[in-house]
């Protein structure tokens, strides 16, 4: 399996499909690169090179004790782009992966980047503060930490339901999607999982978003029960110059069903513009 070594020696797993302009996918917590398989195949079939990595601590990447925070996540992504010498890349980040993409641009700029996509992404800041009253209170994230610490297997099974909007009336529930979410989540080391909760909830990406200078699509479901629309996409689009906002009516946080199909269409359209 292909790996790149990060600055501290942590091995970062990645998948590399197809050829053409690179589209680099960053996954959400607590998943791994496999969560992007449908989109990777979609773009590779249409003449793009699809690349996705497992964030450190997740999936098949190394489980480092230190470095489970946004600066290092972004530097790991930079190491991947540098090692593969990717140019004119389109960076696509979902949820925590959207934070990773945002911090990458904030720290490393856009010399290798042509476009960016933030889907259900955590920027600019998830945590409620005096300056960010629309965020979620710290008790929400403390509850996530408590669930992971007490019985992470059951917690992940339970989390998959609101993640994909399966608790909504009339939702078409896929046990297979829930099982896949649980399988990917159980591959995360508990230290990395807990550290990442702090990273995605308490990192302020405001200044990073102001550094975006490439075409950017900000996409979000208006029924996202994990990353609220108001404190994320609606705030981010005000900070990224010229960004395009797409809000999916009834869309949940996780890619599934009609929401996934609609996003796929928008992704292809954005890539070929």
Span 218-240, pLDDT tens digits: 999 999 999 999 999 999 999 99
Mean pLDDT of 7-21: 97
Task: Tell me which residues are annotated as active site.
Answer: 95, 224, 253
Could you give the percent of the chain with pLDDT greater than 70? Answer: 100
Span 79-107, pLDDT tens digits: 999 999 999 999 999 999 999 999 999 99
Residue 213's pLDDT is 98
Task: Name, in order, each residue with C-beta under 8 angstroms of 135's C-beta and a sequence gap of 6 or more.
Answer: 125, 126, 127, 128, 129, 228, 231
Residue 181's pLDDT is 98
Residue 80's pLDDT is 98
pTM: 0.97
Residue 271's pLDDT is 98
Residue 89's pLDDT is 98
Taking the C-alpha atoms of residue 55 and residue 61, their distance in angstroms, rounded to an integer, is: 7
Residue 219's pLDDT is 98
Span 139-177, pLDDT tens digits: 999 999 999 999 999 999 999 999 999 999 999 999 999
Written as six digits, the tokens of 11 are 């091995």
Residue 1 has pLDDT above 80, yes or no: no
> Residue ranges per domain, the chain?
3-272
Closest CA to 265 of 216, 212, 219: 219
- Domain 3-272: top CATH class: alpha beta
Span 174-206, pLDDT tens digits: 999 999 999 999 999 999 999 999 999 999 999
To the nearest 10 degrees (0 to 180), the angle between helices 190-202 and 138-163 is 110
Residue 67 has pLDDT above 80, yes or no: yes
| CA 266 to each of CA 17, 70, 185, 235: distance values in angstroms, whole numbers, following the listed order | 21, 27, 27, 21
Residue 6's pLDDT is 97
Residue 154's pLDDT is 98
């Amino acid at each position: 399996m292909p790996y790149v070594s990060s600055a501290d020696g942590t091995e970062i797993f990645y998948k590399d499909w197809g050829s053409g302009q690179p589209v680099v996918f960053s996954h959400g917590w607590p998943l791994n690169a496999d969560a992007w398989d449908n989109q990777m195949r979609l773009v590779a079939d249409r003449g793009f090179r699809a690349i996705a990595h497992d964030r450190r601590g997740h999936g098949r990447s190394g489980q480092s004790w230190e470095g489970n925070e946004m600066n290092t996540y972004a530097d790991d992504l930079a190491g991947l782009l540098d090692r593969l010498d990717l140019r004119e890349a389109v960076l696509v980040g979902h949820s925590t992966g959207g934070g990773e993409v945002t911090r990458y641009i904030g720290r490393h700029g856009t010399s290798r980047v042509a476009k960016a996509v933030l889907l259900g992404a955590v920027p600019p800041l998830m945590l409620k503060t005096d300056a960010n009253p629309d965020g979620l209170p710290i008790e929400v994230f403390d509850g996530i930490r408590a669930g992971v610490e007490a019985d992470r297997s059951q917690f992940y099974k339970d989390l998959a339901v609101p993640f994909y909007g399966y608790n909504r009336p009339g939702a078409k529930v896929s046990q297979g999607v829930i099982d896949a979410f649980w399988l990917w989540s159980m591959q995360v080391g508990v230290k990395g999982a807990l550290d990442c909760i702090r990273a995605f909830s308490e990192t302020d990406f405001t200044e990073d978003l102001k550094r975006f200078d490439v075409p950017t699509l900000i996409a979000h479901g208006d029924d996202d029960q994990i990353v609220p629309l108001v404190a994320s996409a609606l705030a981010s689009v005000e900070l990224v110059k010229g960004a395009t906002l797409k809000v999916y009516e009834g869309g949940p946080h996780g890619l599934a069903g009609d929401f996934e199909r609609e996003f796929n269409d928008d992704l292809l359209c954005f890539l070929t513009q």
